[in-house]
Structure 1
Amino acid sequence: MRILGRLLVVLLVMAAMLFAAAGTFDYWQAWLFLAAYAASSLAITFYLMRKDPALLERRKRGGPTAEKEATQKIIMSIASLAFIGLLIVPALDRRFAWSQMPSPMALAGHVIFLLGWAAIFFVFRENSFASATVELAPDQRVISTGPYALVRHPMYAGGLVMLLGIPIALGSWWGLLVIVAMIPALIWRLIDEERFLARNLPGYAEYQRRLRYRLIPMIW
């Protein structure tokens, strides 16, 4: 049950950042976002506890300190800071009213956020090797079915959709600028991970040749 305790800590830290930056608890978008984050995280956690505890264990080891490659430590440090900004900027927007977003748009942001989580769930269901760090399991093999038949990195695609939904869900147009700043770090991680897999995972180079699209079908 330690994983549930960690999730609770994450939620409390996120709530503290949101409401401290907003300067108020009267921020319905933040309350709804925290509920959506908690519900989706719990749903995936309970699924993995029952169906794929090995993957859950791999997902627990994440963040800059868990990465083995120096480049990935740098990338994940940047991504972690950017994620904090993804919460702080919309909350400051709420506090100082930098932008006005209609309530239906904020609700649509929650739908986008949950769609991103759903895409990540389908990745987890298909790929038991979807570690939170760039590494290889002893028995790892190339996965080319399900969402991996569409793009080589469906988890990053789903993650990008999820991240895009956060500032909209929190009612902030300015928060979208943080997403723009995060995209180079995501692309850097993706390309560096592909180099690692092509060198170390048998069959991955062939998979790259077969499937051209990394992140967005028919585009890139």
Structure 2
Amino acid sequence: MSRPKLIALLIVEIVAMVAVMGAVLFVAAGSWRWPAGWRFIALFGALSLLLSLWLLWADPALLQERLKPPVQRGQGRWDRAFMGAAVLTFLAWLALIGLDAGRFGWSRAAGWAQGLGALLLIASYVGIGWVFRTNSFAAPVVRIQAEREQTVIDSGPYALIRHPMYAFALPIFLGAPLVAGSLWGLMAVPLAIIGIGWRAVREEQALASGLRGYADYARRVRWRFAPGVW
């Protein structure tokens, strides 16, 4: 794909993502006059755009891979089902945040907690950037990228844990609801841990059977998400 087409696709996907997220949040909130909601959308959109622009410069092949549809050839049925369920759950989570912090005020996050949430989001994106810098095969779907001659990555964060992408993504589920001022949104954290943990195990099975050297790597690197924990 040419660079202008890649940039155009990137802009379309970022705008569409922010528009859908904003629509769900503010429709659930019942009002556009929700400053914390705007701060959340602005921060999430800005971080996503900055990371994507950096990836456009650092690894355009990976950016192109990450802009592909969530359902692809070579992807297992279980991962297609997971991606569909993940999208629906994510939208329901945004609606819960909007209902809580925007419409009904069931809970309220203090100003310091909203600031902490912003720091968690920023730290999460920085960590994900580290993963992208290390692993050019960090696609959003589980499949063996034979056309890109995928190999096992065991440097950087992968020298410590097997799934740094997931580990760095989990703080988003802590930070996002805090930025928006919703404590009820934190209920997604255990669901995210369970769901992403299940996917990590299934992903390892797929990689061990289809990617040369992965089984040896998994024996060398014991921990999945956090050293000493799991």
Instruction: Provide TM-score, normalisation by structure 1.
Output: 0.95
- C-alpha distance in 2 between matches for 1:190 and 1:152: 9
Q: CA deviation at 1:62?
A: 4.3
- C-alpha distance in 1 between matches for 2:174 and 2:80: 23
| Maintained 8 Å contact 2:151/2:211 | yes
Q: CA deviation at 1:8?
A: 0.6
Task: Give the stretch that moved more between structures: 54-63 or 185-194.
Answer: 54-63
Task: Give the stretch that moved more between structures: 174-183 or 112-121.
Answer: 174-183
Q: CA deviation at 1:77?
A: 1.7
| Maintained 8 Å contact 1:82/1:182 | no
CA offset digits 1:58-95 (Å, max 9, x no partner): 101243x3372111112112211221122111110021
Q: CA deviation at 1:164?
A: 2.1
Q: CA deviation at 1:45?
A: 1.2
2:3 maps to: none
1:9 maps to: 16
Q: CA deviation at 1:51?
A: 1.8
The answer to whether structure 1 residue 98 and structure 2 residue 101 are counterparts is no
| Maintained 8 Å contact 2:142/2:203 | yes
Letter in 1 for 2:225: L
| Maintained 8 Å contact 1:86/1:179 | no
- Report matched runs for 1:34-183 at 5 Å: 34-63=41-70, 65-66=71-72, 68-94=75-101, 95-138=103-146, 139-183=149-193
- Aligned alpha-carbon RMSD (Å): 1.3
Which ranges in structure 2 are unaligned for 5 or more consecutive residues? 1-7
Q: 1:118 to 1:211 in 2, by over 3 A?
A: same
Q: CA deviation at 1:26?
A: 2.1
Instruction: Provide TM-score, normalisation by structure 2.
Output: 0.91
- C-alpha distance in 2 between matches for 1:218 and 1:149: 14
Q: CA deviation at 1:37?
A: 1.3
CA offset digits 1:118-138 (Å, max 9, x no partner): 111100001001111111222
- C-alpha distance in 2 between matches for 1:22 and 1:157: 30
Task: Give the stretch that moved more between structures: 189-198 or 22-31.
Answer: 22-31
Q: CA deviation at 1:179?
A: 2.4
Letter in 1 for 2:112: P
| Maintained 8 Å contact 2:173/2:186 | no
Letter in 1 for 2:199: R
Q: CA deviation at 1:162?
A: 1.8
Identity of aligned residues (%): 38
- C-alpha distance in 2 between matches for 1:151 and 1:108: 25
CA offset digits 1:2-36 (Å, max 9, x no partner): 21112111111111111111111222221111111
| Maintained 8 Å contact 1:78/1:185 | no
- C-alpha distance in 2 between matches for 1:167 and 1:206: 39
| Maintained 8 Å contact 2:170/2:192 | no
Q: CA deviation at 1:158?
A: 0.8
